[in-house]
Amino acid sequence: MTAPALSYAHGASPTPLLGETIGTCLERIAAAHPDREAVVSCEQGVRLTYAELDAAVDRLACGLLTHGIGAGDRVGIWAPNCVEWMLVQYATAKVGAILVNVNPAYRTHELAYALRQSGVQLLFSASAFKTSDYRAMVAEVTGELSGLQDVVFLDDVAWGALAATPVDPDALAGRMASLAFDDAINIQYTSGTTGFPKGATLTHHNILNNGFFVGELCSYTEADRICVPVPFYHCFGMVMGNLAALSHGACVVIPAAGFDPAATLTAVAAERCTSLYGVPTMFIAMLADPGFDGHDLSSLRTGIMAGSPCPAEVMKRVVRDMHMSEVSICYGMTETSPVSTQTRKDDPLERRVGSIGRVGPHVEVKIIDPVTGRTVPRGETGEFCTRGYSVMRGYWEDPEKTAEAKDPAGWMHTGDLATMDAEGYLNIVGRSKDMVIRGGENVYPREVEEFLYTHPDIADAQVIGVPDEKYGEELCVWVQLRPGAAELDAAALREFCTGKLAHYKIPRYVRCVDAFPMTVTGKVRKNVMREESVDLLGLHDAAGVRTA
């Protein structure tokens, strides 16, 4: 009797991995396509060719050298999407500094932690974004950070001076020659199950190759123009966007500092973009924009939808109404650079709305029994694990958490529950960890719970994800109040959290209870809480939305 096929697949590929640093890649592409546009920032009115981009990066890189930044030093960037963000990304890569991405939505509590834990020595920051006064927040936390030596605001004279540093070709070439593509080059913070974010540490090899192969599966060439409204601080923007474009000589179009549906549609039409990125909520907003029919989107061919499950009907409208016949679904996590699986342009639409695709080139995936660790037969549910060039070095200065996530054989344990079918297509069916994905942002309930414990009236709090038609999931918190405390409603809790937690971590729903549903061993039954919340909040329609 033949044993059933196991849930294992590897991405055999005739295309070799890139064995170079990001800085070397930029110089190679700039030499091959000097007059091709590399970046267009619509809101800033800036256009740079690859020759101009490389020259600007060299000036800033030499500014970092004269500033005393060494290979392996940490340099932070706290800003929305702009040309300066991209210059910092590539300049730090050329000098071997580790870029620390700071989420533009962070508040002081989160900002201080990220800068302290990573040991940032130099921070580049916008002055403000939306309702956030970055200058005031930076001033509030700098006294706590002994390692932070300097802050440069992107609209100050200090930035202008650094960005205009005369190039010392010998010094820069000498630094670049000392770097290896396996060097750590980037730290991205993911919400932590222990209440604190973890710094996923990624190398040139991790993220350059991931961007390159995502671009390969989108059939990118130097003729492509990729509209990137997703944030650069996340892998979606800086890897799947910037590095996919860089490695193919394509152009990045930045529609605005933050996502705006009308600005994005205008940019696609005006710049004749061939590719458009977004999480499902962005595509939903663009399709619903009052001016949608007035934009000529016929230049679009492809794009990527990722970050959270996509409703099937939305995907069909993107293909039909936005001309994105080759649109791709990607699945991954920050710790894997990020993409592990991707749909292909020749996959039938049903596969693109009903799966997360197949394993990517040069990557392995398997589905295991979370208890025994054995690979399960195809069709059975288990934990999604992945291995290959894309898996992070580890969590910054946290070997214990690294060992929990990455086993001795090099497999990254994602915590997601998945299935693999006979043809190798995968589906995410749940999460063995408690992570909530709200509009593409990963939120670990424990981090929010830890913060809520500081509320004077809250004795205990349990945060769960509940279905939401717009964001995929929303946060709901069940709280036990201290004796004598007044009833707590969502508005009061939101007021307590505002300014201290990023907006996407603030619970939308609040339920005050005397006790939580518990197992006989004393564990909180969050699955029961979720089911009850769906009933109490009337979220059955949202729970029934079919997603890929």
Helix (H), strand (E) at residue 78: strand 74-78
pLDDT of residue 312: 77
Buried/exposed code over 450-481 (b: 16+ C-beta within 10 A; e: otherwise): ebbeebebbebbbbbbbbbeebbbbbbbbbeb
Structural domain contains residue 327: no
Q: How far apart are CA 61 and CA 93, in angstroms?
A: 9
Cα 244 to Cα 303: distance, rounded to the nearest angstrom: 12
Residue 323 inside a domain? The answer is: no
Q: Residue 122: inside a domain, yes or no? A: no
**Three-state DSSP class for 530?**
helix
Query: Does residue 510 lie in a domain region?
Result: yes
Q: With contact defined as beta carbons under 8 Å apart, do 339 and 240 qualify?
A: yes
Q: Is 304 a domain residue?
A: no
Burial of 188 (0-12, 13-18, 19+ CB in 10 A): buried
CB 25 within 8 A of CB 246: yes
Contact of 508 with 490, CB cutoff 8 Å: yes
Distance CA 411, CA 199 (A): 18
Per-residue pLDDT of the chain (548 residues; tens, 9 = 90+): 667 799 999 999 999 999 999 999 999 999 999 999 999 999 999 999 999 999 999 999 999 999 999 999 999 999 999 999 999 999 999 999 999 999 998 999 999 999 999 999 999 999 999 999 999 999 999 988 999 999 999 999 999 999 999 999 999 999 999 999 999 999 999 864 445 789 999 999 999 999 999 999 999 999 999 999 999 999 999 999 999 999 999 999 999 999 999 999 999 999 999 999 998 889 989 999 999 999 999 999 999 998 877 777 888 899 999 999 999 999 999 999 999 999 999 999 888 888 999 999 999 999 998 878 999 999 998 899 999 999 999 999 999 999 999 999 999 999 888 999 999 999 987 666 667 889 988 787 878 888 998 899 998 888 999 999 999 999 999 998 988 888 899 899 999 999 999 999 999 999 999 988 975 545 678 888 999 999 999 998 887 765 54
Cα four-point dihedral sign 189, 191, 197, 198: negative
| Whole-number pLDDT of residue 251 | 99
Number of domains in the chain: 1
CA-to-CA dists, residue 92 to 27, 51, 101, 225, 407, angstroms: 14, 18, 12, 25, 30
User: Which residue is listed with tokens 């398997």?
Assistant: 366
d(C-alpha 359, C-alpha 426), whole Å: 8
Question: 198-203 and 394-395: which strand pairing?
Answer: antiparallel
Predicted confidence at residue 354, as pLDDT, reads 82
Separation CA 38–CA 250 (nearest Å): 6
Report the C-alpha gap between 76 and 66 in whole angstroms.
Answer: 17
pTM, full prediction:
0.85
510, 479 in Cβ contact below 8 A? yes
Q: Is residue 451 part of a domain?
A: yes
The pLDDT of residue 1: 62
User: What residue numbers bound the domain in which 505 lies?
Assistant: 438-543
Q: What angle do CA 76, 282, 125 make, to 5 degrees?
A: 15
Whether the CB-CB separation of 200 and 210 falls below 8 Å is answered with no
For residue 513, being part of any structural domain is answered with yes
Cα torsion through 106, 109, 115, 119, rounded to 10? -160
CATH number at 519 reads: 3.30.300.30
